[in-house]
Amino acid sequence: MFRSIKSPLGIIVSSAVFFATAMVLWLAISEHEDLYHKAVRGNVNALATNLTDDLAVVLEGENINYTELSVVLAQLEAYDNIISAGVYDDDGALLSQVDGKAVDRATSPVTEKALDAQTPAGFFTENNDLVSIHYIGEPAMLKGYLKVVTDVSRPVTRSKRALLFQAMPLVFVILLVTIGISLYFLSRLLRPLYSLSRFTQQVNETKDYALRYETGHKNEISKLGNSINNLLEMIEVELTINYEQNQTLIEQQQTMTRLANYDSLTGLPNRQFVMDNLRLELARARRADEDLVLMFFDLDGFKGINDSLGHETGDLILIEVADRVTTMLREGDLVARLGGDEFIILPDRDTSRASIENMANRVITAFSEPFQLRGLALTVGVSLGIAKATDADFDLSQLMSNADLAMYRSKAKGRGTYTIFTPDMVESHKRKLSIANSIDQAISNHEFQIYYQPKIDGKGVIIGFEALIRWVHPDFGMIMPAEFIPIAEQGGKISAITRWVIEQVCVEMSALRQHLQRRFRVSINLSGHDLRHSGLFDSIHALFIKHNINPEYIEFEVTESAYLENFALSNKFFRRVSNMGCAIALDDFGTGYSSLSYLTQISIDTLKIDRQFIRELETSERSRLVTGTIIDLAKRLSLTICAEGIENHEQWEYLLEHGCDHVQGFLFSKPIPLHQFDTLPARFERRALIQSNL
Ligand code: C2E
Ligand code: CA
Ligand code: CA
């Protein structure tokens, strides 16, 4: 009701002052009335005493002189407030009466005819009028009574009014002054309370709990101020504690978030983080009707590095990979480690083909420089798979699976490539599955065949053959090993195939020997997976015995990466195989590890220069340089050098010039089945080849 404490207090104080003043006024008027009454009685008494003295003389005789009586009474007519007066004899009978000036105002009968005998003298009030009875003569010898009726109420009222009129202005001034002074002191008293209230309001608005109320005198408000100061101090302490606890909580939460969302080795976001992010991004892209690109990549032969050079080296490589990729990305691109050697890149917005290809190329370039680790220079390949959200209908797992598919395409194509997912890959994926599922059947149904590609020396003489598997599939027709070998490797079916190839070569060995009446070697390709199976040597040994094979007719080819990925096992295996008499060739040399120091530690006989260098001999200075260097290196290490993929005589000329021992390629012969061996010449003439090539 009241917004300020001042108003009710002001009202209370004013009312109190007003009430006190009224009380004083009322008391004064009452007193005045009392005094007035006393004065009137005194006057009436004095007047009556005079009259009774005169009346006593008149009533002295036997006969009453009424005229004299009337004259005496007539004195009363001069008085304003006398209503009437009567004289009675000693028996109370009325002798004479007179009306005073105030007779008109009388309310009661002025006089009675008689008075009770022995009426006592004195004053009483009758109908507001003052009636007085006086004895005439001594009470012992009473001669009569005098009764005087006086009007007092009206004169009193008049007098009171007069008094009131006189006193009122003064009273009013005093009242105002008193109220004014009271209010002044009241507001002075309340001032500290107001300042305290303002202070608390300030604290409330600024939330600055370091503020303090300045306390002056030692009154209740100062005590209240002190209490508020104490309270603020407590709040401040509590707030500090709260703040510190909050900080700790925030830090803990950040640590938890980091642990939950970031990979501890590389510091990159982890699978959990990127999946959450991707889910949101996909929803956003779908709403905005935009596309989104996902890039998968993993390192070629990383497992081999881990196995041969140790996990610490593997970890160092992963850290550097994260570093290299992060520095080449633009702001807004996201790179994360999914686990193992698998990474993911989420490029920021721009999904144009040019931008994607540009980024893919930059990632590949980031891997072109060898990794310098612990004195080794390691070249690590990378395979990229790229998928778009629109091709996956914005479904996260579909998108991931598409990118994965594209990445495996890159792996199948060879190192340092990227593949952008296209829907037909799903179809080819189905083909892949169907191939994987029919390998076992293919062996029992004799669907595999061995094709042989001759290897020749510098004089054009066949010194051996490379056994290359072919699959004539009942539904898909001829399937090349480049397609089904990786599938077999992934599906764990490669050992069965390798065993079949070795046995088949053993079976066909006698036919081969009949065709070529000289020493030669049949080269059998081994996969990295074969080397991880410890039983391989025993089964080879058993097959050689079973088919009566001279191990000196056999060579095993293994790729540089397969050898190094299983370094310890490979070394042991090839040493045993070599001791038995077989030769060992390092296939596809020059593409993988650029550190050559291991060459002195492994037991091999031949280096096979990778086809890509031969293909580029005419066009690439670098390939010519690498080829020359590899040949030179092989010579220094007393290794035989073999070049594959020779398709024209210029390539052969070049290789011959540089002292390459053996060559193999379509220029001489494509791989052929045994029954076509009749088409092979006894010797490949250079001149004839040049002409046929022309
Ligand atoms: P590779 O060991 O490098 O075999 C040489 C490949 O080069 C063969 O392909 C051969 O046909 C091809 N080639 C030879 N000369 C030329 C040429 O002048 N030009 C061109 N363009 N190509 C030429 P193929 O038979 O398709 O085999 C592909 C790969 O499959 C082989 O590469 C090898 O890694 C794998 N492979 C083949 N047979 C087997 C096998 O029995 N076991 C295992 N584990 N892998 C095999
Ligand atoms: Ca080979
Ligand atoms: Ca090769």
pLDDT digits (tens, 9 = 90+) for 580-607: 999 999 998 887 655 576 787 888 999 9
What pLDDT score was predicted for residue 112?
65
Q: For 452, left (φ over 0), alpha (ψ -120 to 50), or beta?
A: beta
Give distance in angstroms: CA of 646 to centre of ligand 1.
Answer: 13
**Residue whose CA is at the smallest distance from ligand 1 atom 23:** 645
Where does the pLDDT of residue 662 fall: very low under 50, low under 70, confident under 90, or very high at 90 and above?
Answer: very high
Residue 284 lies in a domain: yes
- Which listed ligand is nearest to 562 at the C-alpha? 1
What does the alpha-carbon distance between residue 394 and residue 388 come to, in Å, rounded to a whole number? 8
Where does the pLDDT of residue 532 fall: very low under 50, low under 70, confident under 90, or very high at 90 and above?
Answer: confident
640 and 501 in a common domain: yes
What pLDDT score was predicted for residue 694?
59
Ligand 1 site, residue 645, Cβ cutoff 6 A: yes
State which of 145, 160, 175 marks the end of a domain.
160
SS3 sequence, 318-385? HHHHHHHHHHHCCCCCEEEEEECCEEEEECCCCCCHHHHHHHHHHHHHHCCCCEEECCEEECCEEEEE
What pLDDT score was predicted for residue 107?
62
Average pLDDT over residues 427-445: 91
Ligand 1 site, residue 489, Cβ cutoff 6 A: no
**Residue whose CA is at the smallest distance from ligand 1 atom 25:** 468
**Residue whose CA is at the smallest distance from ligand 1 atom 37:** 468
344 and 466 in a common domain: no
Average pLDDT over residues 522-546: 93
If you average pLDDT over each of 180-194, 542-556, 607-621, which comes out highest? Answer: 542-556
- Which listed ligand is nearest to 609 at the C-alpha? 3
Q: Any idea what the CATH number is for the domain that residue 620 is in?
A: 3.20.20.450
The share of the chain scoring above pLDDT 90, in percent, equals 50
Q: Which has the closest alpha carbon to 659: 690, 628, 614, 685?
A: 628
What pLDDT score was predicted for residue 527?
94
Residue 326 lies in a domain: yes
Kindly report the average pLDDT of the chain as a whole number: 89
Give distance in angstroms: CA of 468 to centre of ligand 3.
Answer: 11
**Out of 111-115, 131-135, 341-345, 529-533, which region has the weakest mean confidence (pLDDT)?**
111-115
Q: Is 215 helix (H, G, I), strand (E, B) or coil?
A: coil
List residues, by chain if needed, whose CB lies under 5 Å from ion ligand 3.
587-588
Ligand 1 site, residue 18, Cβ cutoff 6 A: no
Give distance in angstroms: CA of 426 to centre of ligand 1.
Answer: 26
9-17 contacts, C-beta under 8 A, 24 or more apart: 9/186, 9/190, 10/183, 10/186, 13/179, 13/182, 13/183, 13/186, 14/179, 14/182, 14/183, 17/175, 17/178, 17/179, 17/182
Give distance in angstroms: CA of 588 to centre of ligand 3.
Answer: 4
Residue 165 lies in a domain: no
**Out of 196-205, 283-292, 370-379, 498-507, which region has the weakest mean confidence (pLDDT)?**
370-379
What pLDDT score was predicted for residue 693?
62
Residue 441 lies in a domain: no
660 and 530 in a common domain: yes
Token output for 59? 């009533």
Ligand 1 site, residue 669, Cβ cutoff 6 A: no
112 and 39 in a common domain: yes
> pLDDT tens across 193-252, in order?
888 899 999 999 998 888 898 887 778 888 888 999 999 999 999 999 999 999 988 888
Positive or negative, the Cα torsion across 372, 374, 375, 378?
Answer: negative
Q: Any idea what the CATH number is for the domain that residue 292 is in?
A: 3.30.70.270
Domain count, the chain: 4
Give distance in angstroms: CA of 503 to centre of ligand 2.
Answer: 17
Give distance in angstroms: CA of 486 to centre of ligand 3.
Answer: 15
Q: Which of 468, 493, 498 to mutate to test the pocket of ligand 1 (most atoms within 8 A of CB)?
A: 468
Residue 411 lies in a domain: yes
Average pLDDT over residues 594-622: 86
429 or 443: which carries more pLDDT confidence? 443
606 and 477 in a common domain: yes
485 and 553 in a common domain: yes
State which of 128, 160, 192 marks the end of a domain.
160
Enter the DSSP assignment of 532.
T
Residue 262 lies in a domain: no
Identify any residues that bridge with 418 across adjacent strands, giving them in sequence order: 384
Nearest ligand 1 atom, CA 468 = 38
Residue 34 backbone phi and psi in degrees, to 5: -60, -50
Ligand 1 site, residue 481, Cβ cutoff 6 A: yes
Give distance in angstroms: CA of 660 to centre of ligand 2.
Answer: 17
What does the alpha-carbon distance between residue 231 and residue 203 come to, in Å, rounded to a whole number? 12
Token output for 115? 């008075």
**Residue whose CA is at the smallest distance from ligand 1 atom 41:** 469
**Residue whose CA is at the smallest distance from ligand 1 atom 32:** 482
State which of 422, 438, 464 marks the end of a domain.
422
Q: Which of 504, 525, 587 to mutate to test the pocket of ligand 1 (most atoms within 8 A of CB)?
A: 525
Q: Any idea what the CATH number is for the domain that residue 51 is in?
A: 3.30.450.20
Nearest ligand 1 atom, CA 644 = 15
Residue 398 lies in a domain: yes
Ligand 1 site, residue 627, Cβ cutoff 6 A: no
Question: pTM value?
Answer: 0.53
What does the alpha-carbon distance between residue 313 and residue 233 come to, in Å, rounded to a whole number? 58
34 CB burial (10 A radius; 0-12, 13-18, 19+): exposed
Ligand 1 site, residue 527, Cβ cutoff 6 A: yes
| Contacts (Cβ under 8 Å, ≥6 apart) of 493 | 436, 439, 440, 487
371 and 451 in a common domain: no
- Which listed ligand is nearest to 530 at the C-alpha? 1
What does the alpha-carbon distance between residue 605 and residue 611 come to, in Å, rounded to a whole number? 19
Pairing of strands 448-457, 477-479: unpaired
Nearest ligand 1 atom, CA 666 = 18
Q: Is 604 helix (H, G, I), strand (E, B) or coil?
A: coil
495 and 405 in a common domain: no
Residue 177 lies in a domain: no
Which residue range forms the structural domain that includes residue 300? Answer: 271-422
Half-sphere exposure of 534 (CA within 13 A, CB side): 1
602 CB burial (10 A radius; 0-12, 13-18, 19+): middle
What does the alpha-carbon distance between residue 641 and residue 568 come to, in Å, rounded to a whole number? 24
What does the alpha-carbon distance between residue 74 and residue 78 come to, in Å, rounded to a whole number? 8
- pLDDT at residue 615 is higher than 90: yes
229 and 111 in a common domain: no
- Which listed ligand is nearest to 645 at the C-alpha? 1
544 and 472 in a common domain: yes
Pairing of strands 554-559, 521-526: parallel
647 CB burial (10 A radius; 0-12, 13-18, 19+): middle
> pLDDT tens across 5-46, in order?
888 888 898 898 889 888 988 998 899 989 988 998 999 999
CA distances from 357 to 73, 295, 325, 369, 645 (A): 147, 11, 15, 20, 30
Nearest ligand 1 atom, CA 608 = 3
**Residue whose CA is at the smallest distance from ligand 1 atom 42:** 525
Average pLDDT over residues 434-444: 94
- Which listed ligand is nearest to 467 at the C-alpha? 1
CA distances from 170 to 21, 175, 424, 637, 682 (A): 11, 8, 115, 136, 155
Give distance in angstroms: CA of 469 to centre of ligand 1.
Answer: 8
**Out of 107-116, 143-152, 237-246, 657-666, which region has the weakest mean confidence (pLDDT)?**
107-116
524 and 666 in a common domain: yes
541 and 486 in a common domain: yes
**Residue whose CA is at the smallest distance from ligand 1 atom 22:** 645
Ligand 1 site, residue 469, Cβ cutoff 6 A: yes
Instruction: Please name the helix (run of DSSP H) or strand (run of DSSP E) that holds residue 236, with its range, or none.
Output: helix 220-261
Token output for 147? 């009764």
